[in-house]
Amino acid sequence: MKLCLTLICAVLLSTEAKTVHKHIAVDLCSDTDQQSLYGLDGEELWYADFEQGIGVLTIPQFADPSSFEEGAYENSVINVEICKQNLAKTIAANNNPAELTDAPQSSLYSKDDVELGSNNTLVCFITGFYPPRIGVWWTKNSINVTGGVSFSRFYPLSDGTFNLISRLSFIPEKGDVYTCTVEHASLDRHLTKTWDVQEALPNVGPIAFCGVGLGVGLIGVIVGIVFLVKGKKCN
């Protein structure tokens, strides 16, 4: 499956603040997949939900959404169809060329501080890959997990590669081990990151040691003051 990417970048310069902003419009297509989104300065503003047939705003409520209200979704449908046509022509003209690839990197971490028995979220951040076609799956104690798993949309970077975030809702329990595994055309073997509940728990040893040390120090100070007072009385 070959993917075609149409990437439009507009750099805007504010004459007052001398601030440079980057606006991105992306249309992705293949014979089975499609995606369309707009972004600003690395943040997603809007995307087309082709399953629901609507455009979805992802900007804050206080921002001005007027530029995405009229015809944005319809334009995305047209752009993706053009993308598919161009894809077919390009493949035919170049005798189905081999697809260039960039290998992903990944990291795995918890969204919040870990407390046993409390709801939390594991975040698998995958970056720097091309093409934007990737497989991701989770395990808990070597057993595949599908419930509570979600995926972001592909987001483009300035070098033409992509980011993807997968999240897993979970309740940490002592001894549990989680993994996030990535499969991509650029990899000779799967890329797996491991997260251990035990390693993620806060280490109370240094805190307790400092507390004991502080307590002993205070006791020493109090004893010294008592002896000092008694010594003055004796004089």
Mean pLDDT (the chain, rounded): 80
Phi and psi, residue 203, nearest 5°: -85, 110
Q: Residues with Cβ < 8 Å from 84, sequence gap 6 or more? A: 4, 29, 30, 31, 34
User: How far apart are alpha carbons 171 and 166 in whole angstroms?
Assistant: 17
In terms of average pLDDT, the best of 67-71, 140-144, 155-159, 220-224 is 140-144
Assign 97 a pLDDT band (cuts: 50, 70, 90). confident
Question: Model confidence over 152-169: pLDDT tens digits?
Answer: 988 888 788 999 999 999
Q: Determine what percent of the chain is predicted with pLDDT higher than 90.
A: 43
**Domains plus CATH for the chain?**
4-93 (3.10.320.10), 105-200 (2.60.40.10)
Q: How many residues does the chain have?
A: 235
- At 162, which amino acid appears? F
Assign 6 a pLDDT band (cuts: 50, 70, 90). very low
pLDDT of residue 17: 56
Q: What is the mean pLDDT of residues 57-81?
A: 76
Per DSSP bridges, beta strands 4-13 and 177-183 are unpaired
pLDDT of residue 29: 86
Residue 67 has pLDDT above 90, yes or no: no
Q: What is the mean pLDDT of residues 49-68?
A: 74
Q: What is the mean pLDDT of residues 122-138?
A: 95
Assign 43 a pLDDT band (cuts: 50, 70, 90). confident
Residue 65 has pLDDT above 90, yes or no: no
Residue 86 has pLDDT above 50, yes or no: yes
